[in-house]
Amino acid sequence: MTIIDGKATAAQIKAEIAQEVEQIVAQGGKRPHLAAILVGHDGGSETYVRNKVLACEACGFESTLIRYEDDVTEAELLERIAQLNADDSVDGFIVQLPLPRHIDEQKVTEAISPDKDVDGFHPTNVGRMAIGLDCFISATPLGILTLLQRYGIATSGKKCVILGRSNIVGKPMAQLMMQKQYGDATVTVCHSHSQGLKEECRQADIIIAAIGQPGFVTADMVKPGATVIDVGTTRVPDATRKSGFRLSGDVRFDEVAPLCSHITPVPGGVGPMTICMLMLNTLKAGKRRNSAENRK
C-alpha cells in the first residue's frame, strides 16, 4: 500500500514552476501575476487566500490581494472585476467563494474573463473542458489527475466510481476521467440518491470520494487493490487542537488503507495539490499572455 503524498508532490511542482518562472524572466518575459478578491472574514476563506498568496511567493509570482468587507455591493464587486479583466499587468484572478448571500455567485463567476479565470469556474472554461478543448481546468480535479499520473496509477479502461456530483469536483472529475486524453476510464457517478452505491464502489478500481461526509467510505465498500482518492475536508470539532477543529476526510482511512494499492490521506493528500494547480493555471495564463504580447 502506498500513501500518496500530496504535500511533497505539490512542493515539487511548485519548485518546477519557480524554475520555469526564472527562465521566463531571464528571457525578458513577465512574472505571472495572480490577483485574489476576498470578501469578509470567513476563517476558512482567510486561510485559503493566505496560502494562495504564500504559494505565489514560492513560485516567484506577483500577487495582489484585494479585500472587501461583507457589506460590499454586487455592483462594486462587478466593477472591480471589470477593472481586473482590463488590467494588462494581471494574468489571472480569483474571487474567493463563498460570497455573502446578497451577492449572486454565478453572476460574479460569469463576469470574470474566461482568459483570466484561473479557477476554471466560468461556463466557457467548463464547456471547453467538457469537449476536450484547451481551457483552464479547475484546481481540485486537475490536482487529482496529476497525482494519479505522477504515481503511475493506470486509469485507461479502469472502472472509476466518483462519489458526489458538485460543480467544483464531482462533475468535472467525471468529465476528465472519462475523456480519452485524460483518464480514459469507465466512469460511474454516485450521489446521495444513488441506489446500490456500495455495490458500485466494490467494483471500482479507483474511488474518488467527494461527498463531504466524514468517514462515508468504509472497508466493505473497497475492492482489495483499489486506489482511493479522498477529497473530503470537513471541519470537525476537536478540543485537543489549538484551532478547535481538525479536517476529516470522506474515507475511514485506518480501515480502508490496508486494502488499497494507493490512498490519499487527509490532510496532506488532495488538499495541497489544489493551490498548486491554481499556480499552474496562473503560469499558463502568464505564458499565454506573454506569447500574445510577442505576436503583437
What is the nearest approach in angstroms of ligand GUN to the Cβ of residue 121? 7
- Strand 159-163 to strand 62-68: parallel, antiparallel, or no bridges (unpaired)? unpaired
What is the nearest approach in angstroms of ligand GUN to the Cβ of residue 64? 15
**Total residues found in the chain within this entry:** 296
36 — phi, psi (to 5°)?
-130, 135
Residue in the block written with cell 490496508: 258
* Helices 170-178 and 139-150, axial angle in degrees (round to 10): 40
Question: How many C-beta neighbours within 10 Å does residue 136 have?
Answer: 29
Q: How far is CA 283 from CA 121, 144, 216, 218, 250, in A?
A: 17, 19, 36, 39, 31
What is the nearest approach in angstroms of ligand GUN to the Cβ of residue 154? 28
**Which CB sits closer to ligand GUN, 55 or 95?**
95
What whole-number distance in Å separates Cα of residue 259 and Cα of residue 249?
A: 17
Name the residue among 184, 92, 99, 180 with its Cα closest to residue 138.
Answer: 92
**Which CB sits closer to ligand GUN, 91 or 119?**
119
3-state secondary structure of 188: strand
What is the nearest approach in angstroms of ligand GUN to the Cβ of residue 95? 6
Which stretches of the chain are DSSP H helices?
6-26, 43-59, 74-86, 105-111, 123-130, 139-150, 170-178, 197-202, 253-256, 270-295
Based on the residue annotation, tell me whether 230 is a catalytic residue of this protein. Answer: no
Q: Closest-CB residue for ligand GUN?
A: 97
5, 91, 117, 119: the active-site residue: 119
254 — phi, psi (to 5°)?
-60, -40
Based on the residue annotation, tell me whether 52 is a catalytic residue of this protein. Answer: yes
What whole-number distance in Å separates Cα of residue 2 and Cα of residue 20?
A: 30
5, 14, 91, 96: the active-site residue: 96
**Which CB sits closer to ligand GUN, 119 or 200?**
119
**Which CB sits closer to ligand GUN, 94 or 129?**
94
**Which CB sits closer to ligand GUN, 162 or 204?**
162
Q: Which residues bind ligand GUN (CB under 6 A)?
A: 94-97, 119, 139
**Which CB sits closer to ligand GUN, 67 or 198?**
67
What is the nearest approach in angstroms of ligand GUN to the Cβ of residue 115? 17
Based on the residue annotation, tell me whether 119 is a catalytic residue of this protein. Answer: yes
Residues noted as catalytic: 52, 96, 119
